Amino acid sequence: MNAILSRFALCGTPISCARYGNGHINETYLVVTNRPHLYILQKLNGYVFPNLQGVMDNIAAVTAHIRKKTDGDCLTLVPTTDGKPYLIAENGDYWRLYEFVLNSVCLEKAESIGDFRQSAAAFGEFQNQLSDFPVQSLVEIIPQFHDTPHRYLQLHEAIENDRAGRANGVKAEIQAYLSREKEAAGLMTLQNSGELPLRVTHNDTKLNNVLLRESDHRPLCVIDLDTVMPGLVANDFGDSIRFGASTAAEDEKDLDRVSLSLPLYEAYADAFLSACGDRLTAAERKTLPLGARLMTLECGVRFLADYLNGDVYFHTAYPEHNLVRCRTQLKLAEEMERNWQRMEAPCR
């Protein structure tokens, strides 16, 4: 590892480099130098992200833009010794080095409504800071990532092919999702007509991708920018709600435990919109609840399609895992439909 670290402009001499965190995609290490100075070193996963140059060019541009907008903490790439924002090793591996954000904490689950509000404030400020960024300059890292009609096409293919021979056993789930297909194109139609602008979107807006200040849990910065690309604000907002405002885990088997927490939803919407300020258009504000519903349906459709295909995409712990996930998302979508007026109220 010293050969890799020697290629970066470090403050001091490395004295330790150990695996760090619980991420499953990139290899992550905590580097300590003799100054002392701390860094996060990562080897990027070229299987998950085939266009690693695009990933890193996006991150370098976005973090540089954010740094110009804030005097506080932000995600900071450490340059290589020849001044580049990332390293391409002789064997083709991509490496990057970040400054370690001191006195920070990363939560896997909100300890209070306040924590959820702080994540909303962080992602809202992320939108605020990047509202004038030239979004067309970004690479689309995962094409059609949140194209919900495209995900429905994949479901139709999975039903038709029935590779795992499971379709007959899930007719009720298939019918429930297909009955909602007409609304799936809502956001894409508005985008294609020009009513919704493309923005810089994070595309993985979970609480654990926000660093909070250890002392009071105020937001410091947004992390894990590998999927930053052009997209719709409603999808970022929606994924936060889908994952964070549900009363149960994504793979909860007991559907009676699955519902939408309106207090969490309303707290998130209030903090997110406050942090965005006047950066969002009226159409964007109005479509935030739709983003939550469509992101929930989209994830459920993907889980169901993967179940029909024989569990080839998502990691599963048992044979019905993807089926359980798709049922959970369907129940959450139903809860959103039942509380639709309450969901719309904060976003008018």
Question: Distance (Å, rounded) from C-alpha 97 to C-alpha 77?
Answer: 6
pTM for the predicted model, two decimal places: 0.94
State residue 23's pLDDT score: 77
Where is average pLDDT lowest: 22-26, 91-95, 162-166, 287-291?
22-26
Residue of 233, 230, 348, 250 whose CA lies nearest to 292:
233
pLDDT at 153 over 90: yes
Instruction: Give Cα separations from 13 to 4, 7, 287 (angstroms).
Output: 13, 12, 51
pLDDT the model gives residue 140: 96
**What percent of the chain lies above the pLDDT cut of 70?**
100
pLDDT in tens, 219-247: 999 999 999 999 999 999 999 999 999 99
On the question of pLDDT at 156 being above 90, the answer is: yes
Is the pLDDT confidence value at 72 over 80?
A: no
Q: How confident is the model at residue 1 (pLDDT cuts 50, 70, 90)?
A: confident
Q: For residues 148-177, give the mean pLDDT.
A: 98
For 2-102, the fitting CATH number among 2.60.40.10, 3.90.1150.10, 3.60.15.10, 3.30.200.20 is 3.30.200.20
Residues 300-337: tens digit of each pLDDT = 999 999 999 999 999 999 999 999 999 999 999 999 99
Return the half-sphere exposure (C-beta side, CA atoms, 13 A cut-off) of residue 98: 24
pLDDT at 285 over 90: yes
Question: Quick one: pLDDT band at residue 21, thresholds 50, 70, 90?
Answer: confident
Work out the angle between the directed axes of helices 288-309 and 171-178 (0-180°, nearest 10).
150
For 94-135, the pLDDT digits (tens) are: 999 999 999 999 998 888 999 999 999 999 999 999 999 999
**Domain extent listing, the chain:** 2-102, 113-347
Measured distance CA(258)–CA(249) in Å, rounded: 8
CB count within 10 Å of CB 141 equals 19
Query: What pLDDT score does 109 carry?
Result: 84
Q: Does domain 113-347 fall into CATH 3.90.1200.10?
A: yes
Could you give the 3-state DSSP secondary structure of residue 174? helix
With 90 as the cut, is the pLDDT of residue 25 above it? no
Residue 59 to residue 26: CA distance in whole angstroms = 15
Q: For 261-279, what is each residue's pLDDT tens digit?
A: 999 999 999 999 999 999 9
Which pLDDT tens digit goes with each residue over 175-185? 999 999 999 99
The reply to whether 2-102 and 113-347 are identical in fold is: no
Nearest CA among 21, 14, 8, 67 for reference residue 37: 14
